[in-house]
Amino acid sequence: MEDSLLMDAVERFVKGEMSAQEKIYFEDLRKNNPELDQTVVEQIFFYNELEKYSDRKNFTIALHEVETKLSEEGIISRNLPKGKGKLIQLWARSKRTIAVAASIAGVVSLFIASLVTSVAKQTPTNIKPLVEKLNQQENKTRQIENKLNKLEAGVNTPIIKPRLDAKFRATGFMIDAVNNYIVTNAHVIDQAKHKLIIENNKGEQFNAHSIYVNPEMDLAIIKVDDHDFPKMATLPYTIKKTNAELGEQVFMLGFPKQEVVYGEGYISARNGYQMDTIFCQLSTSANEGNSGSPVINKNGELVGVINSLETNADGVVFAIKAVNINRAIAEVKKIKGNEAIAFKGSNALKGNDRVNQIKKLQDYVFMIKGN
Amino acid sequence: MLGLQNLYYCINIRPVTTLEQEKLLLDGLAQESKESIERIYREHYSMVKSLIINNNGSSDDAADIFQETMIVLFEKAKSGEFELHCQLKTFIYSVSRRLWLKKLQQSSRFISQNELLEETIPVEDDVEHHEKKQNDFNLMEAAMAKVGEPCKSLLEAYYIQKKPMQQIASDFGYTNADNAKTQKYKCLVRLKKLFFAQYKFSE
């Protein structure tokens, strides 16, 4: 109760509502009673915090009202309609602090929503597809590099194709070296609004077009169009017939940058995000551009295709189980003109050391670019 | 590309009229004026939106980042020591950019090395300061959530909606303003306890 009285005094003191006489008395009291003074200091501090909180809160409410108004005018667009505002608004403001807790409860629906509507390109907030958006700067740098390389080599390439001004980069790999089919993620193909190309490790680009896109499995199959695409030997890998084992060591090749990058890790869970059985979980690091990277075990068997990473956690990467590639191939077979597709692989990687495995593998892994 | 453009604004002396207008706008912001907020949105939202969209963000991200930028701006305006050395536009762009960079870093451990390289005006301190304030705000918010009813409504009515005690007494069914006041202080003591239970003095 005394605390309440003191608070009243402090409040009036801070607001300047005390009479001169009262003020003198109050300050006298503080001077002569260090313990009380300590409490007063604390209360003034608290009172100021409360004031700041109140101002911020009022501002946030005003902010939200303006936002709602402008949303109605179409100036601001949000995918998630912000219903009765205030609560959601406040949630939005403090979501960083509660993000961890929320991710446990909130993610289920988010992810399901994304599965259903992934055609409409909704990505759950803490799952990050690994396509890298390229900016013009990088394109230019690359063009200059290419020119320099050509000058250095002193070779005039006989066929000069205009190079694509790519807007994104991801990874894909060969699944049929006879008919030149390549697999990558559906969300990668989603990015290709106009043009799609593949680029090999020599920097040569070839036109391709998408044959099959399955957003549910996040798999897509594309076919190389160009006739000058070099003939390739039989695939040095096979698709593992069973699911990858927990703890199984794996490695991957992908294009998080403009050259092939090697990564390794292990299978850390049998299922993917929220127990999604299409996916499995890896413990490794993946970056933008890694989407569509092949995940291969030590015997040279394909166990998965990288598709996303969890942004809330460190080193949690998801891959589509490789068995799904068989499903995709079966479906492509039904598409007119693509009946010939077949996965013919060998176990050429088996028994090789890692360096040799990579050497053999890297010709079959491509950059997927487009705009 | 954008950075260069803004640099240009920064080294250019602002026309007096713009300066005055922007000063008024910031004063309005400090008063939580909706008109000021709306004007800033109308003038600068599209710029921030294209910044976010062009750098791996969605329109939702853009709305979030702009909101947070507005709060940084509000805090600055409120502190009274804010002197804008370049156009408001540059400040808004710089803060949004900084916030977005941080968000990208937090969310995925990496950012594309080629993007967002250009610096505009240094706002790191402002953003850091804002984070501290945000944290204090969250603590008070959490304490408020825990204080329970009728305390929460009572405190909000008095400290946020700034209703007079008389009205609060009748709204909440207290016999008179003094009773309501006593109750309010009891609630405040509780709130204070909750707040300090979480608050860590940094110094």
d(CA A263, CA A119): 30
The count of CB pairs under 8 A between chains A and B is 133
Maximum average pLDDT range among A166-180, A300-314, B141-155: A166-180
Amino acid at A301: E
Token readout for B162 is: 């700034």
- Alpha helices by DSSP H, listed for chain B, are 2-11, 16-30, 34-53, 59-79, 88-108, 124-147, 151-155, 165-172, 177-198
The pLDDT of residue A101: 36
- List the Cα angle A248/A251/A255 in 5-degree steps: 150
Residue A88 host element (H or E) = helix A86-117
d(CA A259, CA A264) in angstroms, rounded, equals 17
Task: Report d(CA A69, CA A28) in Å as an integer.
Answer: 53
To the question of domain A136-370 being in CATH 3.20.20.410, the answer is no
B38 reaches A (C-beta below 8 A):
yes
A249 conformational bin, left if phi > 0, alpha if psi -120 to 50, beta if neither:
beta
Cβ of residue B203 closer than 8 Å to a chain A Cβ:
no
Residue B28 has pLDDT above 60, yes or no: yes
Rounded Cα gap, residues A226 and B184, in angstroms: 78
Indicate the CATH number for domain B126-198: 1.10.10.10
Decide: helix, strand or coil at residue B143: helix
ipTM comes to 0.79
Q: What is the arithmetic mean of pLDDT over B18-35?
A: 83
Residue spans of the domains in chain B: they are 2-122, 126-198
* Closest in B32, B140, B182 to A58, CB measured: B32
Pairing mode of beta strands A219-224, A181-184 = antiparallel
Give residue B53's pLDDT.
83
CA distance A264 to A253: 9
List the single residue in B with minimal CA-CA distance to A66: B38
pLDDT(A145) > 70: no
Per-residue pLDDT tens digits for B72-130:
889 888 887 676 666 788 888 888 888 888 888 776 544 444 344 444 677 778 888 88
CA A220 to chain centre: 18
**Among A7, A97, A285, beta carbon nearest to B185:** A7
Sign of CA dihedral A225, A229, A235, A240: negative
pLDDT score, position A239: 92
Contact between B74 and A59 using a beta-carbon 8 Å cutoff? yes
**Packing angle between helix B88-108 and helix B34-53, nearest 10 degrees?**
50
Contact list in A for residue B64 (CB cut-off 8 A) is: 92
Q: What SS3 class is residue A253?
A: strand
Whole-prediction pTM value?
Answer: 0.45
Split at pLDDT 50, 70, 90, the class of B55 is confident
Distance from the Cα of B148 to chain A's closest Cα (Å) equals: 16
For B159-190, write each residue's pLDDT tens digit.
Answer: 888 888 888 888 888 888 888 888 888 888 88
Q: Do B41 and A76 touch (CB under 8 A)?
A: yes
Question: Chain A contact for B35, CB < 8 A?
Answer: no
B-chain CB neighbours of A62 within 8 Å are: 32-34, 37
Residue B22 CB partners (closer than 8 Å, separation 6+): B14, B84, B87, B88
Residues of chain A positioned with their CB less than 8 A from the CB of B45: 70, 75-76
Nearest 5°: the CA angle A294, A299, A303 is: 35
User: What are the sequence ranges of the domains in chain A?
Assistant: 2-71, 78-125, 136-370
Nearest to A56 among B38, B137, B142 (CB): B137
Over residues A37-52, the pLDDT tens digits come to 888 888 888 888 888 8
Query: A86 falls in which pLDDT band (50, 70, 90)?
Result: very low
**Closest residue, chain B, to A287 (C-alpha):** B110
CA distance B192 to chain A (A): 7
- Pairing assessment for the beta strands A168-176 and A316-321 based on DSSP bridges: unpaired
Q: CB A144: neighbour CB atoms within 10 A?
A: 10
Residue carrying the six token digits 């609060």? B168
Tens-digit pLDDT profile for residues A303-353:
999 988 877 777 888 899 999 999 999 999 988 888 899 998 888 888 889
